[in-house]
Structure 1
Amino acid sequence: MTFVHAIGRGAYVTAAVLYFTQSLGLGIGQVGVGLSVAGLVGMAAGPPAGHLADRYGARGAHLASLLCCALATAAFTVPAGFWGFLSAAVAVACAHNAGLATRGPLVADHGRDRPQEFRGHLRAVSNIGICLGTLPAGWAVQAGTSFAYLALVLGAAGLHLAAAAVTAFLPPTAPVPPDGGSRWIVLKDGPYAILTVLDGVMAIQFRVLTIALPLWIVLRTEAPTWLVSATMLVNTVIVGVFQTRVSRGVDSPAAAGRALRRAGFTFLLSCAALSCTAGPPVGITVAVLLLAVAVHTVGELWHAAGGFELSYTLAPPHAIGQYQGLFGMGLSAADFLGPGLVTALCLDWGRPGWFVLGALFAVTGLLVPPATRLAERLGERKVLVHPESE
């Protein structure tokens, strides 16, 4: 299920921003505003969807989110101007965030014996799928025709539909009864909310490779357009090969805090390198771009491993979906703030903006370890105990 869904996701995220601007005829500002609004609205979908997955079974809830994602993605092909684009973007964001929340209990149920390795393995599988999705995306970007982009978007929607069909064959996930306390315990967990906010700021890094970099390559450098697909390919290959290995070493909240701190400084280094790619000859630009993407991806490995560990380990067993829904709101906040922020800093401001963005990541990473210690000290929660530590 993860693999099939990721192929469609990879095709979509690689070329979506160029499809919106070059095929639908929307301006960069319209796309940035539309995706930001969609991210804001989509934030509300996670906790209720996760709660439903906890109480009524995660398999059915996740299948429904995939069906909604397929229909919403296909809606991008209906020519309806900015408001039609905005409506489809909001629907995609809601379905995506509901999918993240409902997937949490599935992952916990199937990976309970070796949670870090299982989550890392799933992310590796996901990135292999995304890597395959970049191939048709590269063809569509290079062709640059309305037909190519239309075929790409409809293909992505079809793959989401196929993932929903595969989900129906997963073993059913039993509902988890409440512990008798507050129904919405996650809303009272301040330390977990702080970590959600910090991870959300760090998650803006995902918009660097999917929004800022494609537009930077096309509009600010002399690099060929096929490099848009090549950079995504480099990213997904590195994650596919190394994510499981990196995740094995992030096996406690303290280790997760250190991983996110390293990630912040790594993103600062990659942003500094990307700022230098406007102006040099094509050969140097291509080499520096690929190297910067590789460095950025190392930070992404640490960010993903640390975020996974914090989001699952600090969640009580009877409310994993609910807690995943809240943590997913950090990603939604990144979807809301990220497009406008990275386009304003990196495209409008240029080189200084890249350094400001990198500094934001570095400072956020520094704040995660003390926030993690606060969560462990003041949380008074039931912790998911790793069998390896028993």
Structure 2
Amino acid sequence: MVTIAFVDRVGSGLWTSVSVLYFTFVSHLDLAEIGTLVAVAGTIGIAGAPLAGRFADRLPLTRLLIAVQITRALASLALLTTDRYALLLAFCAVGGLGDRAGNVLTKLYAARVAGADRVRYQAVHRTAANAGWALGGLAAAAALALGSTGAYRALLIGDALSFLGCALLTLRCGEPPSPSRTVRTSKGPKAQAEPTNPWRDRTYLAFVATETVLFLDDAVFKIGLPLWIAHSTQAPHGLAPLLMVLNNVMVVALQVPLARLGATTAAARALLLPLSALFALGGLTLALSATGGTVTATLLLIASAITFTVAEMLHATVSWELSVALAPDTAQGSYLGVHGLAQSAQRSVGPLAVTLAIAAGPLGWTVYGTTIALTCLVQHRLLRDRLTGPPLSVPPITVSEH
């Protein structure tokens, strides 16, 4: 599954960074049409996480993963067949559903196969994904140097082929044990424990709500830093892509070592306290970067990028461990599907939140960082009583790393 993550993200790196350009120069859409397409497809894609989680408690996980990857490949290839707006919107929506579904299913696979070592497994998985994304992005940049319609189409075909490759690799993976399917088999298909519906679990829903806020840091690198550097600081504009590279390199180098800090449920919850301080510091350094000259602004922006990257890695560990620890064994898929809504919702809320922070100037970034920091403390308090029981564990099994 680690190899699959790498191949998947190579394809995503090929396409995501040029998708807007493809719709502009190949499909000939205007700016408003592209914005609407991305927004609507993204909104529809949110449903992919809970749907995948629900099916994963009832069907073999590897078969679902294969079906999702094939669906994503077909949705990508379908974009090559038309310039009609309605069809492009439909195909992008299907791709978005598959993307969010795939994220939940791979996370659930890790939970079932890695057992007590699930945090490290997820860290290795995330490292491989980031490395793949970087490689795909570099290949896309090289292809764009050609500036031709054929280059754009080749990148889209490469994206589709990566999904087909993932489907083939998944065929070599063993099916992990599923407590939910075991219970249903032994007690009958209608057997359902009362407390295993995540939509009735108020603590878990509150946890997901706080997670949506904590995931807002994702928009800092994708939208916040480039716009802030260009419009509000004395730093050179070329610093923005370099900070993205810094973020990626740090994640690849440090995600696995830092995951050890949250290897248990108690340790993961405890990390919320230093994580709070990191988010506050990141917002403050961004705010101060608007008050100095070129050198000062550059140094503060680098410091902020480092701070937010460390926070991103620690939150990935915390989020991964707590989302699984809070889920009953017999409904892991359904619970993780609901948790997936947090990251999906952030994709819609994040750009708006960052834009508002930039519009408000230095004070906006201070409020931005402080809000996320306070949410860390709220989450820490929210889970105090829920996590006093024994940690969740799933017996590990031997399975192909592919």
TM-score (norm 2): 0.80
The answer as to 2:128 corresponding to 1:116 is no
1:237 aligned residue (249, 259, 273):
249
Corresponding residue number in structure 2 for 1:127: 130
Corresponding residue number in structure 1 for 2:306: 294
Task: Sort the Cα spacing of 1:317 and 1:231 in 2 relative to 1 into closer, same or farther, 3 A.
Answer: same
Cα offset, 1:338, TM superposition: 1.9
1:385 aligned residue (369, 386, 393):
393
2:386 aligned residue (375, 378, 382):
375
Instruction: Please say which structure displays the higher CA radius of gyration.
Output: 2
Are the counterparts in 2 of residues 6 and 126 from structure 1 also a CA contact under 8 Å?
Answer: yes
Amino acid aligned to 1:358: G
C-alpha deviations, 1:189-212, integer Å up to 9, x for none? 211111111112211221222233
Amino acid aligned to 2:364: G
The answer as to 2:316 corresponding to 1:304 is yes
Task: Sort the Cα spacing of 1:55 and 1:14 in 2 relative to 1 into closer, same or farther, 3 A.
Answer: same
Cα offset, 1:21, TM superposition: 7.0
Corresponding residue number in structure 1 for 2:377: 366
Are the counterparts in 2 of residues 53 and 59 from structure 1 also a CA contact under 8 Å?
Answer: no
Q: Distance between the aligned counterparts of 2:30 and 2:298, measured in 1? A: 28
C-alpha deviations, 1:61-104, integer Å up to 9, x for none? 11222222233345556674765664444323211221122223
2:213 aligned residue (201, 217, 224):
201
Task: Sort the Cα spacing of 1:26 and 1:160 in 2 relative to 1 into closer, same or farther, 3 A.
Answer: farther
- Sequence identity percentage: 29
Corresponding residue number in structure 1 for 2:261: 249
Q: Distance between the aligned counterparts of 1:31 and 1:213, measured in 2? A: 22
**Greater Cα offset, 40-49 or 291-300:** 40-49
Equivalenced residue count is 383
Corresponding residue number in structure 2 for 1:164: 167
Amino acid aligned to 2:377: L
Cα offset, 1:137, TM superposition: 3.9
State the superposition RMSD in angstroms: 3.6
Q: Distance between the aligned counterparts of 2:48 and 2:143, measured in 1? A: 31
Task: Sort the Cα spacing of 1:226 and 1:4 in 2 relative to 1 into closer, same or farther, 3 A.
Answer: farther
Corresponding residue number in structure 2 for 1:70: 73
Task: Sort the Cα spacing of 1:360 and 1:251 in 2 relative to 1 into closer, same or farther, 3 A.
Answer: same
Amino acid aligned to 2:354: V
Are the counterparts in 1 of residues 14 and 136 from structure 2 also a CA contact under 8 Å?
Answer: yes
Amino acid aligned to 2:132: G
TM-score (norm 1): 0.82
Amino acid aligned to 1:269: L
Q: Distance between the aligned counterparts of 2:163 and 2:329, measured in 1? A: 29
Q: Distance between the aligned counterparts of 1:81 and 1:272, measured in 2? A: 46
Amino acid aligned to 1:268: A
Task: Sort the Cα spacing of 1:233 and 1:315 in 2 relative to 1 into closer, same or farther, 3 A.
Answer: same
Are the counterparts in 1 of residues 271 and 318 from structure 2 also a CA contact under 8 Å?
Answer: yes
Corresponding residue number in structure 2 for 1:262: 274
Corresponding residue number in structure 1 for 2:333: 321
Alignment of 1:120-159 (within 5 A): 120-139=123-142, 148-159=151-162
Q: Distance between the aligned counterparts of 1:138 and 1:213, measured in 2? A: 20
C-alpha deviations, 1:288-337, integer Å up to 9, x for none? 54443222110001110000010111222222211111110111111222
Q: Distance between the aligned counterparts of 1:288 and 1:109, measured in 2? A: 42
1:58 aligned residue (38, 57, 61):
61
The gaps in structure 2 that reach 5 residues or longer are 185-190, 397-402
Amino acid aligned to 1:186: P
2:182 aligned residue (177, 202, 216):
177
Corresponding residue number in structure 1 for 2:368: 357
**Greater Cα offset, 105-114 or 301-310:** 105-114
Task: Sort the Cα spacing of 1:385 and 1:173 in 2 relative to 1 into closer, same or farther, 3 A.
Answer: closer
C-alpha deviations, 1:93-138, integer Å up to 9, x for none? 2112211222233112321252222122211222222222231244
The answer as to 2:333 corresponding to 1:333 is no
Q: Distance between the aligned counterparts of 2:24 and 2:224, measured in 1? A: 13
**Greater Cα offset, 140-149 or 264-273:** 140-149
Amino acid aligned to 2:340: G
Amino acid aligned to 1:56: L
Are the counterparts in 2 of residues 77 and 150 from structure 1 also a CA contact under 8 Å?
Answer: yes
Cα offset, 1:4, TM superposition: 0.7
Q: Distance between the aligned counterparts of 2:348 and 2:53, measured in 1? A: 20
Are the counterparts in 1 of residues 113 and 395 from structure 2 also a CA contact under 8 Å?
Answer: no
Corresponding residue number in structure 2 for 1:210: 222
